[in-house]
A = this chain, B = another copy of it.
Amino acid sequence: MATGKADLRREAGQRTRDGLLAATLELLAQRGQEGLTLREITESAGANVAAVSYHFGSLKALCDTAIEHALERYLDAQIEALGFLSSGVTLEELAAAFARPMVGALAAGGQDLAVMRTVARVGIDPPQGWDRLAGKFERARQDALRVLTVALPEVDEQELVFRTRCAAGMLNWLVLAPIGVELAAESAERIERLLVPVLAGAFRGAPSRG
């Protein structure tokens, strides 16, 4: 037997798979699913066009796989960031936790940033088969809402849901629009210092005419 020994053939196949996924993620982050070309991916990954059919079945399946990986990485980071919060936290701490995955991705760049941008694009043009991750989405949403309802008991829950979606949308926009490349040049501390007051203010809302 050779369980402890590497099968070089299978390793090469795994490398091709990973390369295709990485190239696809990068291109998805840059331009989205439309206009994405099979040959563009394979050239960027240094692979043959047939490798996509062989390893993933089709271009669409490759994109779906890359998107699902990105969504899973993003949701795990979001849930982890919010999970640390207790119920008695300030709005600023909530805002900081809410923004942490994006701030970290902007500061880190590379694949982390590509994951973020891809997730943001998916938020605008959702694929049909994201039912599998709907539970995680719901969990991340509930985590934020739970802390928010304690911090702002006087605000209607439906409005808090809306504000959470506004905040998430704002982050998605910032990472996707050209302003994202400006932000990516800043340090994580500076991004957080700019962002947290805006997010916290959006959560709190304006005092009604006071």
Contact = CB atoms under 8 A, between A and B. Distances in A.
A118 to B, nearest CB: 13
Interface stretch (A10-18, A30-38, A58-66, A131-139): A30-38
A90 to B, nearest CB: 8
Contacts of A50: none
A98 interface: no
A50 B90 CA distance: 62
A177 B169 contact: yes
Q: How many copies does the complex hold?
A: 2
Contacts of A195: 166
Interface residues on A, range: 35 or more
A95 interface: yes
Interface in A148-198: 159, 162-163, 165-166, 169-170, 172-174, 176-179, 194-198
Interface of A: 31-32, 34-35, 90-92, 95, 123-126, 159, 162-163, 165-166, 169-170, 172-174, 176-179, 194-206, 208-209
